[in-house]
């Protein structure tokens, strides 16, 4: 199985700041990396797929990058509604493993 190691586990930042969350795959996933946002008590929401492709309706302050085994989610100019948990997901193999998540909190 492909393992997804996400870091950091938690992160505190202020409104207006930029943050980066990283995801490391245990093997090359050829850009098949997906990011989700989950707010408390809500279902996850698709943010980015194919490592860099922004889902329709997602603000452009969200961006994804990476290749091979290393991927990142960057959020520019944090807004109050961005404080949530974020998960990466392996979109290559048929065992669709998630990272353990990053909780983004307000500083």
Partner 1 sequence: EVQLVESGGGLVQPGRSLKLSCVASGFTFSNYGMNWIRQAPGKGLEWVAYISSGSSYIYYAETVKGRFTISRDNAKNTLYLQMTSLRSEDTALYYCARHGGTSHYFDYWGQGVMVTVSS
Residues at the site binding partner 1, with contacts judged by CB under 8 A: 1, 32, 34, 36, 38, 43-46, 49-50, 55, 87, 89, 91-92, 94-101
Q: Rg (Cα) of the chain, in Å, rounded?
A: 13
Q: Residue 71 in 3-state DSSP?
A: strand
Looking at the Cβ atoms of 24 and 55, the one nearer to partner 1 is: 55
Q: Please report how close the Cβ of residue 71 comes to partner 1 at its closest, in angstroms.
A: 13
CB of 95 to partner 1, least distance (A): 7
Closest to partner 1 by CB, 38 vs 76, is 38
Q: Report d(CA 28, CA 14) in Å as an integer.
A: 34
Full strand arrangement of the beta sheet holding 70-75: 4-7, 19-25, 70-75, 62-67
């Amino acid at each position: 199985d492909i393992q997804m190691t996400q870091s950091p586990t938690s992160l505190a930042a202020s409104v207006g700041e930029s943050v980066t969350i990283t995801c490391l795959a245990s093997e090359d996933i050829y850009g098949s990396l997906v990011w989700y946002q989950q707010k408390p008590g809500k279902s996850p929401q698709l943010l980015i797929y194919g490592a860099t492709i922004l889902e329709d309706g997602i603000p452009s302050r969200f961006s994804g990058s990476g290749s091979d085994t290393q991927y990142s989610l960057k959020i520019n100019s944090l807004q109050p509604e961005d404080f949530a948990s974020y998960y990466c997901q392996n979109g290559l193999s048929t065992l669709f493993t998630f990272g353990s998540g990053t909780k983004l909190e307000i500083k």
